Structure 1
Amino acid sequence: MNIKNTVLQKTSIVTFLFIVIVFAWVCGQLIVNDDELAFPVLIETSTTCRTTATANDSELIVFTPSKNIAVQLTQKLCGDNVVAKQYGVVVGYWGYKTSDSLEFVGKGIADLILAKNNIMAAFKAESTYDYMPVVGFSDYTAFFISSKEKPIISKSYFLDKKIGLLDYPTSRSGHILPKQVFKDLDINIANLNILYASSHNELRDLLANGKVDIIASFWKENDKDRFSKNYITPLSNNITGTRWYLKMQQNNTDLLCAVQEHLMAMSRDQELHYYQNVSPFWRCENNTAVFKVGENNE
Structure 2
Amino acid sequence: MDAVKRQTRRFTAQWAGKDHPCVEQQWRGKLFYFGARSAVVLAVLLLLAWSLTPAAPVVTMSAYNQVSCRDIGAAQGSARATEPLRVFTPVHQLSLPILKGLCAQSAILNHYSDVRVFWQSRSAFVPAHIYSQFYDVMWGRDYALNGMSPSYLDYYQPLLTLPGYDVYWYATAAGFQGNPRDFEQLRVGLLDDPFSQSGYQLPMNQLNSLQIAADNRQIRFYPSRDALGQALLSGEVDVVADTSFSPLSRSAAVRSKVLIAAQVSSGAWYISSRVSSSQTLLAIQKTLSSL
Interval of TM-score (by shorter of Structure 1 and Structure 2): 0.5 to 0.7
The verdict on how the C-alpha distance between 1:100 and 1:67 changes in structure 2, with shifts beyond 3 A counting, is farther
Relative to structure 1, is the Cα distance of residues 254 and 51 closer, same or farther in structure 2, using a 3 angstrom cutoff?
Answer: same
- Alignment correspondent of 2:54: none
The TM-score, its normalising length taken from structure 2, stands at 0.62
**Match status 1:157 vs 2:182:** yes
> Mapping of 1:36-51 within 5 angstroms?
45-47=66-68, 51=77
CA displacement, residues 58-80 of structure 1 (integer Å, 9 cap, x when unaligned): 54322333341353244234x21
Instruction: Please report how far the alpha carbon of residue 141 of structure 1 lies from its aligned counterpart in structure 2 after TM superposition.
Output: 0.6
SS of equivalent to 1:182 = helix
Measured after TM superposition, the shift of residue 238 of structure 1 is: 0.5
Q: Identity over the aligned pairs, expressed in percent?
A: 18
| 1:224 and 2:250 correspond | yes
State the shift of 1:45 in Å: 2.0
* AA in 2 matched with 1:231: S
1:95 to 101, 113, 119: 119
Segments of structure 1 that go 5 or more residues without pairing to the other structure are: 4-42, 268-274, 276-298
Partner of 1:75: 103
Match of 2:226 in 1: 201
What's the counterpart of residue 25 of structure 2?
A: none
Q: What is the DSSP-based 3-state SS (H/G/I as helix, E as strand, rest coil) of the residue aligned with 1:191?
A: coil
SS in 2 for 1:237: strand
Query: Taking structure 1 as the reference length, what is the TM-score of the superposition?
Result: 0.61
Confirm or deny: 8 A CA contact 2:165 2:264 kept in the other structure: yes
Structure with higher Rg: it is: 2
Residue aligning to 1:131: 156
SS at match of 1:165: strand
**Contact 1:114/1:244, CA 8 A, preserved across alignment:** yes
Consecutive unaligned residues of structure 2, counting only runs of 5 or more, are 10-63, 71-75
Distance 2:103 2:182 in 1: 51
1:232 CA displacement: 0.8
1:154 Cα deviation from its structure 2 partner: 3.2
Q: CA RMSD in A?
A: 3.6
2:127·2:148 contact (CA, 8 Å) conserved in 1?
Answer: no
Higher strand share: 1
Runs of 4+ in structure 1 over 6 Å off: none
| Aligned-partner SS, 2:114 | strand
Point out the more displaced range, 185-194 or 251-260.
Answer: 251-260
Q: 2:272 aligns with which of 247, 250, 265?
A: 247
